[in-house]
Structure 1
Amino acid sequence: MTPDVPRPPAHATDRPGDESPFALGLLLRRAHWRAASVMSEALRPLGIELRHFAVLLVLVNRGPTVQRDLASETGTDKAGIMRVVDDLERKGLAVRKAVPGDRRVRAVEITAEGRELFDAAHVAAEPLADRLAAGLGPDGSKQLTALLTQMAHAADSGDM
């Protein structure tokens, strides 16, 4: 009879079969890098980066938004969001407008050109997104999207 010897803890590797407590987060990070690379490829010919698209997405969904809320919604710091908004303004994709009642605050609003580029980005990304999900099988993309949506919005529902 061999005594039960405690198994050493699994070490994070981010490779298939990793059973460490970090495995899910590491795999999500690797999948994010891959997806970001593919989506960046779609955006490059349009002259924007993912950080610009993220702000345009918030503006399309929320309408005019103050910079501090843009920073929070996109996970960007104050200086970073200022640079992104500066870029979008230079490209004619967004404008800063005064907020009535508060001279210190500016809301960022998407322009007609920004909306056109936002729509064009979706068209450009479709074949690349199909390529990204090709190895997931016929319903794999829908299943993964459902699971990631559930995980990403768990905090919204109080599950985490």
Structure 2
Amino acid sequence: MNVNIPADETRPPSAEAEDPTVQAATRIWAAMSGLVLEHGDRRKQVSDALGLSFARAKALRRLVPGPLTMRELGAKLTSDKAYTTLIVDDLEERGLVERTVHPEDRRCKLVTLTAPGRAAAARADRILARPPAAMLTLPPADLATLERLLTVLREGED
């Protein structure tokens, strides 16, 4: 199997990697990633609660703001046309979405949440929004500090 590894990932560690600030930031980033992606895997909890793959639950959540064309939904899911169609077919069969002809372009289909689809998306959002139990034990001052730091990090990415 041929794996493409970017050149910068094959070089020996640079002086930057020896920097204590870079080392601390790397450790913290790994801990944050692990907390979000692995700890109490919320994606599995959503899948189990809804009886859907997480990709299907994600599709429902992307439709909450309003109907999307199949192409728009595929772009939001970063999936190809065939996989998007498979997802929508399944959600439609379950009564969670409906497909209609686009009123301005009859060549396009609009995907819209049904009432049960909207309820499923809301349930997924509640599960995903629930903080880890340990976070609920933090003192208010620590929560405020964490929120402030995360805001700084988010704004630095813009």
**Structure 1 position 121 matched with structure 2 position 130:** no
Cα pair distance change 1:111/1:39, threshold 3 Å: same
Q: 1:130 corresponds to which residue?
A: 132
2:64 counterpart SS class: helix
CA-CA distance at 1:106 after TM superposition? 0.4
Q: 1:40 corresponds to which residue?
A: 44
Q: 2:56 corresponds to which residue?
A: 52
Distance 1:144 1:115 in 2: 33
**Cα pair 1:40 1:50 within 8 Å, conserved:** yes
CA-CA distance at 1:39 after TM superposition? 3.3
> What does 1:55-70 correspond to in 2, within 5 Å?
55-61=59-65, 63-70=66-73
Distance 1:83 1:151 in 2: 38
CA-CA distance at 1:100 after TM superposition? 2.3
Report how many aligned residue pairs link the two structures.
138
2:61 counterpart SS class: helix
Distance 1:75 1:32 in 2: 20
Distance 1:77 1:29 in 2: 27
**Structure 1 position 105 matched with structure 2 position 108:** yes
Contiguous gaps of at least 5 residues in structure 2: 1-11
Contiguous gaps of at least 5 residues in structure 1: 1-6, 155-160
**Structure 1 position 83 matched with structure 2 position 103:** no
Query: Structure 2-normalised TM-score?
Result: 0.64
CA-CA distance at 1:31 after TM superposition? 5.1
Q: Percent of aligned pairs with the same residue?
A: 26
2:85 counterpart SS class: helix
Distance 2:110 2:33 in 1: 32
> What does 1:130-149 correspond to in 2, within 5 Å?
130-131=132-133, 133=135, 137-139=142-144, 142-143=147-148, 146-147=151-152, 149=154
CA RMSD of aligned residues (A): 3.6
Query: Structure 1-normalised TM-score?
Result: 0.63
**Cα pair 1:59 1:110 within 8 Å, conserved:** yes
Match of 1:9 among 14, 24, 33: 14
Distance 2:45 2:63 in 1: 22
